[in-house]
Amino acid sequence: MESFTTTVALIGVVIVVASLLSGALERAGLPLVAVFLALGALLGPYGLNLLDIGFDSSALHALAMLGLALLLFSDAVTIDLKQVRVEKHLLWRLLGPGTLIPAAIVTIAARFILELPWPAAAILGAALASTDAVLLRGAFRSGAMPERARTALRIETGANDVLLLPIVVLAILALRAHVSGDPVPGKDIGRSVVGLFLLGPLLGATVGWLGIVALDQIRSKLGVRRDYESLYALGLAFSSFALAESVGGSGFLAAFAAGIMVSSQDVELCDCFLEYGEATAEMLLLLTFVALGTSLIWTGFSILGARTIVFTVIALTVRTVVLYPVLKGTSTTERERRMIALFGPRGLSSLLLTLLPVFAGVPGSEQLFTVACLVVLCSIVLHGGGITIFLRRAMQRANLASAVPAGVIAPSSAPEPMPRTAARASLPIAESPTQTTSENDIRITIEEMLRLKEHSEEIIVVDARADRSLRRDDLKAAGAIRIDPDHPVRDAKALKLSQNATLVLYCA
């Protein structure tokens, strides 16, 4: 009972702290990961000694497995397949030589510097070639990152785990055989290959497709609340994972396949998931960081030595050294190439991949996790610090731009008050089934908007669609201004929108 109470308290603390600090950390450009690792250390034996989560913790096992599945699903949902087709030559380089060559080099370094057996070295090489989306979320949300660089990094962080996970799973079989001295049974290899490359993806895609078909039918006939659509997406992620695991398939690749199916078939659900469901996914991932931060991740410092320092330097620099020349000859600019090559943090995905052999009970696999912890901690300092500097500089440039926005003439020297998010028109509007009951938020039809204009109302049409929907639909309202839904206050200040105007927003 005490363990259950502690777990519930931990979940509550993570949600409360993440919510309260989200705005301040975004403005400061600090990664949430570092804050929650520190929170874990505070709660762990090095701090208040309230928690000490080890490898045998069932809570850690569940968090790690579901966290990796949800990470793969959410990354797949955020992939814009239209942009994948446009940037396919760039992405092939990222996911081909840009991922596999660093994995191979780190594997060789682990074999000869750390003197690990080849299967263990392969697990470490694949895990440390995985770049982390959690540390990059702040940069993705920033408008300062070039679109092509953001697209490339999003797809790399979302898809490289799909290439690396099979390497880890097959290497686990080889490592178990190496430890026991027995050859790997052919049926085990065959079962793993079928589960990884056929059963898991097929079941995941089927769950995703059936889920979208069912949602479309219910939505058109009965209607579905938008907030529940985000929960529906989470349900598809967990259902696909559980179904594949129950029949011997890869639940992780099933979750990724389900996310790809959702991404390709239902834009509205994708945007809904990004608005709310992604926050839920992020909370689970941050909770995993707190759990690891109580004691396990700090074991990385216990192996500090000449060999591990050299290995860590290689693991953190090899991607940049390989990727920068690989990207030459693509459509990227010099600045985009530098940004893509440098922004490759190792984080939760690397830790979760090295936890798989630990949970599989392979003797000696805890050493692989410890080495990964050292690399990840150094990456949080190195890459996390670099991302923080980038975001702060971007924010400074945005503040300067908003002070005197290009192409916008301020109506007066005095700053104008912020506009209402939605203004109720002074003219009575006919009852409509699309109206809401909120006093400050009202839905109107195009005809009703034109009526307001006829009565000399000041109307501003605002395009507040999510970036994903904006990219996929070239049709835009005539005369509409663009406001980023993630940064409405910043954009409204920059555009100096009138407080007396009625803002008509469309987002789908």
Cβ neighbors of 404 (< 8 A, separation 6 or more) are: none
CA distance 426 to 3: 57
CA distances from 102 to 107, 314, 319, 329, 422 (A): 8, 9, 6, 20, 50
CA distance 259 to 54: 31
Residue whose structure tokens are 């509409």? 480
Per-residue pLDDT at 432: 36
Residue 463, phi then psi, degrees to nearest 5: -85, 105
Whether residue 436 has pLDDT greater than 60: no
Q: Is 478 exposed, middle or buried (0-12, 13-18, 19+ CB in 10 A)?
A: exposed
CA distance 483 to 478: 15
Quote the crossing angle between the two packed helices 348-359 and 278-293, to the nearest 10°: 60
Per-residue pLDDT at 403: 54
Strand order, beta sheet including 502-506: 481-482, 459-463, 502-506
CA distance 231 to 383: 32
Residue 214, phi then psi, degrees to nearest 5: -65, -40
pLDDT, greater one: 247 or 498: 247
CA distances from 285 to 26, 274, 280, 311, 355 (A): 17, 15, 9, 27, 15
Region 463-485 average pLDDT? 71
Residue 430, phi then psi, degrees to nearest 5: -60, 145
Q: How confident is the model at residue 219 (pLDDT cuts 50, 70, 90)?
A: confident
Are 385 and 355 in contact by the 8 Å Cβ rule? The answer is no
Ordered structural domains, the chain, with CATH: 2-397 (1.20.1530.20), 411-508 (3.40.250)
Residue 461, phi then psi, degrees to nearest 5: -90, 125
339's tokens: 């940004």
Q: How confident is the model at residue 208 (pLDDT cuts 50, 70, 90)?
A: very high
pLDDT, greater one: 324 or 414: 324
186's tokens: 């052919």
Whether residue 425 has pLDDT greater than 50: no
Per-residue pLDDT at 459: 82
Residues in the chain: 508
Are 45 and 294 in contact by the 8 Å Cβ rule? The answer is yes
CA distance 170 to 93: 24
Least reliable range by pLDDT among 18-27, 349-358, 463-472: 463-472
CA distance 402 to 397: 9
Q: How confident is the model at residue 180 (pLDDT cuts 50, 70, 90)?
A: confident
pLDDT above 70: percentage of residues in the chain = 82
Mean pLDDT computed over every residue of the chain: 80
Residue 460, phi then psi, degrees to nearest 5: -120, 120
384's tokens: 């996390």
Rg (CA), the chain: 25
290's tokens: 């707190």
